[in-house]
Amino acid sequence: QVQLVQSGAEVKKPGASVKVSCKASGYTFTRYPMHWVRQAPGQRLEWMGWINTGNGITKYSQTFQGRVTFTRDMPASTAYMELTNLTSEDTAVYYCARGRGLELPLDNWGQGTLVTVSS
């Protein structure tokens, strides 16, 4: 079965960077795009962007453009999300989610990674 397992919780200081991993199993990693979505405490889901896991092409939400980078390690079937210049407003749970293609739904989600930004 499809599984997305994310790395553990992180605590960072303002101005630092964080890198979250998402290891996929149960399907061919490079055939499906990987999206990243975040959810601040008590808030709605917020789409961050996606990466074509086959060719590495990325699409970032304008909200995060310039501060976020998606990468992937194909042999390891792992996607990564790095967010820089963190502020307290970046405190949130970050999810990876498998896409089915452009405009199509996110059909499997990781368990989430809590990133806390605090001085």
The binding site for another protein (CB under 8 A) comprises 35, 37, 44-47, 50, 59, 61-63, 95, 97, 102-112
CB closer to another protein, 27 vs 109: 109
| Per-residue tokens: 59 | 């699409």
CB closer to another protein, 75 vs 105: 105
Does residue 70 contact residue 84 with C-beta atoms inside 8 Å?
Answer: no
For residue 10, the minimal CB distance to another protein (Å) is: 17
Helix, strand, coil percentages in the chain from 3-state DSSP, rounded to 5 = 5, 50, 45
Q: What is the DSSP string of 81-100?
A: EEE-S--GGG-EEEEEEEE-
CB closer to another protein, 10 vs 46: 46
Indicate the residue type of 45: L
For residue 33, the minimal CB distance to another protein (Å) is: 11
For residue 106, the minimal CB distance to another protein (Å) is: 7
